[in-house]
């Protein structure tokens, strides 16, 4: 079965610093991978996705993520964090064999200090 691990429950970074949020998945075949962001009191917004092709994908709001098959990872990065990036971030994995079921990680809460 699919599983997703986000090892960091909370991360605090200074405004302007770089950011990397970790995501590891467990699945044998080629997965579909997603990052979502959830601001307080809001629904989830899709940041970016990977399902084939170039392993470095660009998303909205200046985020990018890199798929590393050998490490079963799909880490999210941003070179310079803004205070408005403070939110909760979720990694999710799907696969053709599982229909349109997405399995989510437990989330990482990002705090930005000025």
Partner 1 sequence: EAQVTQNPRYLITVTGKKLTVTCSQNMNHEYMSWYRQDPGLGLRQIYYSMNVEVTDKGDVPEGYKVSRKEKRNFPLILESPSPNQTSLYFCASSLRQNYGYTFGSGTRLTVV
Our finding on whether 96 is near partner 1 (CB under 8 A) is yes
- Of 11, 13, 19, 102, which one interacts with partner 1 (CB under 8 A)? 102
Burial classification of residue 3, based on how many CB atoms lie within 10 Å of its CB (0-12 exposed, 13-18 middle, 19 or more buried): exposed
CB of 16 to partner 1, least distance (A): 29
User: Are the C-beta atoms of residues 102 and 94 closer than 8 Å to each other?
Assistant: yes
Which residues lie below 8 Å from residue 53, measured CB to CB, with a gap of 6+?
none
Tokens at residue 39, please? 């601001």
- Stretch touching partner 1 by CB under 8 A, among 19-27, 60-68, 77-85, 105-113: 105-113
Map tokens 């200090």 to a residue.
113
- Stretch touching partner 1 by CB under 8 A, among 14-22, 64-72, 75-83, 99-107: 99-107
CB of 17 to partner 1, least distance (A): 26
- Of 13, 32, 75, 77, which one interacts with partner 1 (CB under 8 A)? 32
Which residues lie below 8 Å from residue 42, measured CB to CB, with a gap of 6+?
none
Positions in the binding site for partner 1 (CB under 8 A):
4, 9, 32, 34, 36, 42-46, 49, 51, 90, 92, 94, 96, 99-107
């Amino acid at each position: 079965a699919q599983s997703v691990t986000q090892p960091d429950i909370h991360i605090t970074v200074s405004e302007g610093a770089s950011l990397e949020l970790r995501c590891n998945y467990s699945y044998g075949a080629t997965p579909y991978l997603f990052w979502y962001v959830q601001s307080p009191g809001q629904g989830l917004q899709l940041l970016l996705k990977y399902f084939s092709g170039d392993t470095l994908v660009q998303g909205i709001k200046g985020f990018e993520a890199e798929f590393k098959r050998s490490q079963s990872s799909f880490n999210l990065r941003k070179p310079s964090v803004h205070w408005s990036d403070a939110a909760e971030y979720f990694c999710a994995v799907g696969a053709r064999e599982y229909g349109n079921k997405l399995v989510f990680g437990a989330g990482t809460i990002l705090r930005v200090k000025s």
